[in-house]
Homo-oligomer: A and B are copies of this chain.
Amino acid sequence: MDLVRYLADKVDIINDALAERLVKEGEFPESLHKAMHYSLFAGGKRLRPVLALAACEAVGGGFEAALDAACALECIHTYSLIHDDLPALDNDSLRRGRPTSHIVFGEAVAIMAGDALLTVAFDIMGRAQGADAARVLKALSEIASAAGSTGMIGGQVVDIESEGHSVDFPILEYIHIHKTGKLILASVRSGAIMAGANDAQLACMTRFGEAAGLAFQIADDILDVEGSSEDLGKATGGDAKKGKATYPALIGIVESRRRAAELVERAVEALDGFGERAEPLRAIARYVVSRKK
């Protein structure tokens, strides 16, 4: 299959859907809505929403059924980047090739733009048109739990608190599984839920999402060491400078690469029963470890 074409099509669809569901940039208060749009339309890969649409298709649904969940996932991912970049957290000034939100809008508006993106994620799901309400609630619960204190935020807290300390492997895995993995898993599962997946299908999606999510984060760690700042649109080598726990730092580049490849194989195998419809999901998993940015 033509993954590049698939991704480009889906990214367009997601961008249009986000633009439709968000308050317009010029609306009052302007600084807030400008800041929300600035980060949300900064050219992100849209990996999470694409995964949601692809998982929905893999189970046999039309991707439209997962569009609200997809938009919610991207709003949550974007808010987490804005807050992560704040001076009190990672203190990053560059993201996706542009100055970070607090550099452009000041800390107060950046904090509140993040809050507003997190809030609008659930607003979008609450307004989900024409969908089965029980399905929407189930997907929403999946996403909220993955984004919360025992999911993504838990991972962020441990990541921040581990900076500059020596970190053992269980803690490194906790950070990666929670900070990135949980929301990727929720992307796949919520997309499948919106297609009406049964328990057996959801179990396969869980195996796929867990493996692909961890592979993605290991690949991210490797890119921070080996990627070019130009490709990534942010400073590289930042993890090492901050004393961050990473796979390459703990088990070396070669072993990191081996493990990422192994996880991708595991992810692809989990979809054995899904046939042709799951080809985009499989291709995305493979792409995740081969990407340059």
Contacts and interface: CB of A to CB of B under 8 A. Distances in A.
A83 interface: yes
A149 B108 contact: no
A19 to B, nearest CB: 15
A148 B123 contact: yes
A23 interface: yes
Contacts of A158: 29
A157 to B, nearest CB: 5
Given A23-B150, A161-B29, A86 B109 contact: no
A108 B86 CA distance: 9
A112 interface: yes
Interface stretch (A92-100, A138-146, A276-284): A138-146
Contacts of A142: 126
B123 A145 contact: yes
Contacts of A23: 149-150
A115 B116 contact: no
Given A140-B122, A144-B126, A160-B108, A149 B83 contact: no
Interface string A97-141: 000000000111101101110111011011110000110111011
A153 B32 contact: yes
A229 interface: no
10 contacts: A29-B154, A83-B111, A89-B108, A112-B157, A118-B119, A122-B144, A125-B137, A125-B140, A127-B141, A136-B137
Given A27-B149, A115-B153, 15 more contacts: A31-B157, A32-B153, A83-B111, A86-B111, A88-B106, A88-B107, A114-B115, A116-B149, A120-B148, A120-B149, A123-B141, A126-B142, A126-B145, A133-B137, A137-B137
